Chains A and B, each alone.
Chain A
């Protein structure tokens, strides 16, 4: 069974631009969660999607958004990029709730904002 894939793996953008990251979950998994990892703030929960609906959201500004498609693939979008958005963005998939189910993580997308 293929693992969680994320594209692109690396991305360089400039302040003010927007970016879209993609995550393909393990086949059969309906929950996709997104996390941001930075040296200063550590790992932070962004949001979780289940069956095309956002089920939970962390404490991030509205510039961070996401969606999930009928095949469970998910995208996250960051608009009006700031330097502080430079981070490793991880997605994880699970059958159901990420707080109780085993999550399988992708390799991450490393975003650099210049």
Chain B
């Protein structure tokens, strides 16, 4: 089955720093999403981005489907950005496959 790899697995940054999280997938996908799980376990949908670039405030995402990767950019990090970021792909059978996540810790 399709493999979804996220890097880096862990990231510690100072408040105000920028970061780039990467998601590689081993086969073509129909859909791709990014999620954030806060330290209390709440999951939030950030982006639905099968291709192209989207921006929402300090967050933006780019998916290059032909090269099988997606990037999530976080600018001017805040402590509330801490948590785990997951990308999830849908390879065409309506099942959703998650990566293992990138754990982000923003220091005040």
A74-114 contacts to B, CB under 8 A, are 88, 90, 92, 97-105, 107-108
Interface size range on B against A: 20 to 34
Given contacts A97-B94, A99-B30, A99-B94, contact A108 B41 (CB under 8 A): yes
A110 CB → nearest B CB, Å: 8
**Tally of chain A residues near chain B (CB < 8 A):** 23
B68 at the interface (CB under 8 A from A): no
B51-93 contacts to A, CB under 8 A, are 86, 88, 90, 93
Given contacts A88-B41, A108-B41, contact A98 B96 (CB under 8 A): yes
A residues within 8 A CB of B106? none
21 A-B residue pairs with CB within 8 Å: A33-B96, A42-B100, A42-B101, A43-B86, A43-B101, A44-B98, A45-B96, A45-B97, A56-B95, A88-B41, A92-B43, A99-B31, A99-B33, A101-B48, A102-B45, A102-B48, A103-B45, A104-B45, A105-B43, A105-B44, A107-B42
Chain B residues packing against A (C-beta within 8 Å): 30-31, 33, 41-45, 48, 86, 88, 90, 93-101
